[in-house]
Amino acid sequence: MTSRQAECQARRDRHVPQGTFHATPGFIREAHGAVMVDVDGRELIDFAGGIGVVNVGHSHPKVVAAIKDQAEKYIHTCFHIAMYEPYVDLAARLNELAPGDFDKMTLLANSGAEAVENAVKIARHATRRPAVIALENAFHGRTLLGMTLTSKVKPYKHGFGPFAPEVYRMPSAYCYRCPFGLKYPSCGTACADYLEEFFVGNVAPDQTAAVIAEPIQGEGGFITPPPDYFAKLQAICKKHGIVLIVDEVQSAMGRAGKLFAIEHWGIAPDLVTTAKSLGGGLPLSAVTGRAELMNEPHVGGLGGTFSGNPIACRAALAVLDILLADGLLARAVELGDKIRARLDALHRKYELVGDVRGKGPMLAMELVRDREKKTPAAEETKKLVKLCYAKGLVLLSCGSFGNVIRTLMPLVITDEQLDRGFQILDSALQEVSAAR
């Protein structure tokens, strides 16, 4: 560590609690596109994108221009005090773009967790039911309800109880480690059908307000359900009058090669949450869904001081333009094919790589000590992330066992930067494999 980095680190340790974790040990001076520059001037290729927040790239010029323009007009009035058009413009845009051929409305908030909280509030109010069913390996945020809905105990929940009531958890569609010991497609997607059985021993359907699921479980390890999973889940929800909330905080805005990842499964959820890349780097989240559900809570029941900040709304409108009008969404599809080919090659080359999965450029490889037993290679994953950082690549792990490497690079990454990143990943995998 250089003296500049050490100085920053010492001040951080003195003034900021340890609970805020760091995937890399470095301090950043600036970031553009898919490259970050640290305080010593070292360039880092970014495969993490601020945890999936900068799909349009760090400091995209159109996002910067929108932020500057709005900041010079007004920064904050509070939507509850004096309304402004960027909020309504963004709501209208999301209503038009979200899946589903029905009337929609959008509520804006600040973070992913806050969007999830609001989606649950809306579902509960509209159904007059208390229970929510979440999935194993789910991540829905760090607030009390978000943390309760989240599956992984350490580090997210350990010591932070008691948790919110009326949250129930059923197995997820983790095909690589099927909780039912079955194989797709002969399983008939039993994990979705299981919801009916779940009602028998866990919670009654007429007490259940919502089922909440990520299209691709993000922090859980980019777990990607089979093609018929969501249609089955939705049919059961519909039968029992349960609201299906799809949490797209991580997977939307082109991350999975579509504006909304759930489009890959061909269904339109009742409510969909977005955040992360929506604001192009500014804190912003949304709940978009069926107008009759969204409009059900009474006046004053929803909102917040900073919710739908006008600068963040303008940034989000720029993000949508970049993705749709400027063709970045099309680039995401192309990028997805390139990353998939690179990961498949690593799968063939290294025993350590047990599985490659995901959609579009939202891809991951799961590392295992042996392919037969699928023993999670958590230590090797940590080593790999560290080694890549030393070589100039920022990589992010995930997974309930901490043994999954995910790709969340800005979609504006150039082919050269992508190549360089994968060369680093390949050489680091070689070293980690050789050291076993």
Instruction: Specify the residue, 112 or 410, whose C-beta has the smaller distance to ligand PLP.
Output: 112
CB of 217 to ligand PLP, least distance (A): 8
Instruction: Specify the residue, 302 or 428, whose C-beta has the smaller distance to ligand PLP.
Output: 302
CB of 70 to ligand PLP, least distance (A): 21
Chain residue whose CB lies nearest ligand PLP:
112
Query: What is the end-to-end Cα distance of the chain in Å, rounded?
Result: 26
Instruction: Specify the residue, 51 or 64, whose C-beta has the smaller distance to ligand PLP.
Output: 51
Instruction: Specify the residue, 111 or 148, whose C-beta has the smaller distance to ligand PLP.
Output: 111
CB of 111 to ligand PLP, least distance (A): 4
Instruction: Specify the residue, 216 or 424, whose C-beta has the smaller distance to ligand PLP.
Output: 216
Q: Which residues would be at the binding site for ligand PLP (CB under 6 A)?
A: 51, 111-113, 116, 139-141, 214, 218-219, 247, 249-250, 275
CB of 203 to ligand PLP, least distance (A): 22
CB of 248 to ligand PLP, least distance (A): 7
CB of 116 to ligand PLP, least distance (A): 5
Instruction: Specify the residue, 113 or 322, whose C-beta has the smaller distance to ligand PLP.
Output: 113
Instruction: Specify the residue, 214 or 380, whose C-beta has the smaller distance to ligand PLP.
Output: 214
Instruction: Specify the residue, 205 or 289, whose C-beta has the smaller distance to ligand PLP.
Output: 289
CB of 1 to ligand PLP, least distance (A): 28
CB of 352 to ligand PLP, least distance (A): 25
